[in-house]
Amino acid sequence: AQSVSQHNHHVILSEAASLELGCNYSYGGTVNLFWYVQYPGQHLQLLLKYFSGDPLVKGIKGFEAEFIKSKFSFNLRKPSVQWSDTAEYFCAVNEAYNNNDMRFGAGTRLTVKP
Amino acid sequence: NAGVTQTPKFQVLKTGQSMTLQCAQDMNHEYMSWYRQDPGMGLRLIHYSVGAGITDQGEVPNGYNVSRSTTEDFPLRLLSAAPSQTSVYFCASSYSSGGPRSVDEQFFGPGTRLTVL
């Protein structure tokens, strides 16, 4: 089964700084890729997803992610963070042709200082 | 729509007690799942269901049972609680179970925080 690694456990940034959160997965086959966000006290919600096509995916709230197949990576980026982006971010992967088993990374806690 | 609802929000159990965590969705979703969230480990899939009457194990199924008698409900049962089951439990649903290249978004409930003493 695949596994997902998020190397940054806690990231602290000032407002307007650029963000990049790393995500790597271990499965060698075709995958679907997701980023979810959990704002304090709220449900997990989908930021963006990739399954085929343009490897640069744009999501809600100005977030984007780039799928680099050769590096097994799906890093999340935002050019300029806001205080309201303070949240926990989870990368998730499932196999494209057997996608009932979703695997999540451990999460990255982002704190944005005003 | 209420979306995905979970009850209770908080629960404290003693070792060996049993309980059922409730999950319901009103979106007519086929796929439902249970995750546990532990610090530093992200979300781990416990069980999932691709439709009424069909369930399967996820990554960490031991100590948990599920059933899916209706499309709307997917309860999670702990038959004999252990301290290792202290966690936050999330239920999620999506429109379909997939099939090739399906990338349906999962909708999550608010979670149940369970403590086993």
Q: How far apart are CA A98 and CA A101, in angstroms?
A: 7
Among A5, A98, A104, the residue to mutate for chain B (most B Cβ within 10 A): A104
Q: How far away is chain A from the Cα of B105, in angstroms, using its nearest Cα?
A: 7
Using CB atoms, pick whichever of B41, B97, B110 lies closest to residue A43: B110
* Confidence at residue A1, expressed as pLDDT on a 0 to 100 scale: 62
Nearest-10 Cα torsion for B38, B43, B45, B50:
140
* pLDDT tens track for A34-75: 999 999 988 899 999 998 889 999 999 999 999 999 999 999
**CB-CB neighbors (< 8 A) of B90 in chain A:** 44
* Confidence at residue A94, expressed as pLDDT on a 0 to 100 scale: 85
Q: How far apart are CA B27 and CA B107, in angstroms?
A: 10
Instruction: List average pLDDT for each run of 10 residues in chain B, which is 117 residues long.
Output: 92 97 94 91 91 92 96 96 96 72 77 96
Q: How far away is chain A from the Cα of B85, in angstroms, using its nearest Cα?
A: 18
Using CB atoms, pick whichever of B44, B98, B103 lies closest to residue A100: B98
**Is residue B97 classed as helix, strand or coil in its secondary structure?**
coil
A57 class by beta-carbon count within 10 Å (0-12 exposed, 13-18 middle, 19+ buried)? buried
Return the higher-pLDDT residue of A22 and B100: A22
**CB-CB neighbors (< 8 A) of B31 in chain A:** 100
* Confidence at residue A28, expressed as pLDDT on a 0 to 100 scale: 80
Q: How far away is chain A from the Cα of B103, in angstroms, using its nearest Cα?
A: 7
